[in-house]
Structure 1
Amino acid sequence: MAVSNPPAPLPTFIPNPTYLFSATVNLGKSLGPIPMVEGGVRIVETITGGGIYGPGFNATIEGGVAAPILVNNGDGTRIQIPYIYAYGYASDGSPFYMEEAGIGSGVTQNTRLIINVGGKYQRLQTTYVLGQPTVNEERTIASVECFSVPLPPSMGGN
């Protein structure tokens, strides 16, 4: 007797991401690779400055650090787990701090940004921000396109 699976439930809410901003940072000299006990290596790169531009956030990046972990995938490719921390001043003079983490290859990644800021950009503290970072081949400039992803209405979304 064949067992049939019930149909997959349909989502009750389909989010529609909205473009927030693009950020570009200048990367300093790399420190690494640093071997990690659990496997892979960590690369540490200083962020020496940069900018954030867009309809949802404008700011100057004063500094920070990128410290991705690179893990061999077993098939000759690597998985990159980015960890990025940056700070600076928003266009209204408010200081900000942001953290970014995610997963992907060295070429394509998806990340989540957590942004601590006050002033006219304070709403970013409760916004789910999806990022798609890229790094140039020389690893001197990194950029990230950022989108807000609305939460379902039952979770405080609009």
Structure 2
Amino acid sequence: MAERADFAATLAQSPLPGVELVAGLQAQDWNQALRSLALAVPDDSPSIAVIDEVPWLVEQDQEFEGALWTVWDRHLSADREPVARQVHFVGSVKWLETQPFGRHDNDALVRDMLAVPGAAPDTPLVALARCGVADDLPLTAHWGPENLVRAWQPR
């Protein structure tokens, strides 16, 4: 699957300290690909890994969801202090669409959040949307293009 190859290639280019342990690895399945992430993250400091389009991956590849749960439980969960102690937020990126992040998007985020290992019903929800966010949504935070530009400006 192309997504698995892209995941491995992106991981190989990452600044994670253990990336040399998995350099050149051709993951034969999602379990192996995600275990390579577990090998690459440091044991002594927190790391952030963003896997975009998890619900889509679950729909497209029957193997992905089970592999994510297994690797999270065995290699990335709270047992591996201080890395991955908890999920601080779950979010959605709506960038290519021309409509604001709305009720339908929020409902999908709430539904899909529980598929994220480590997330709980009270995990904060955030959105990043190119065309704005509807006012009445129960999001902890939301950002648009101006926020991204401001965040990357030198201080």
TM-score, normalization: structure 2?
Answer: 0.27
Identify which of structures 1 and 2 has the higher relative contact order when contacts are C-alpha pairs closer than 8 Å and 6+ apart. Answer: 1
Q: Which has the larger radius of gyration?
A: 1
TM-score, length of structure 1 as denominator length: 0.27
More helix per residue: 2
Structure that is richer in strand per residue: 1
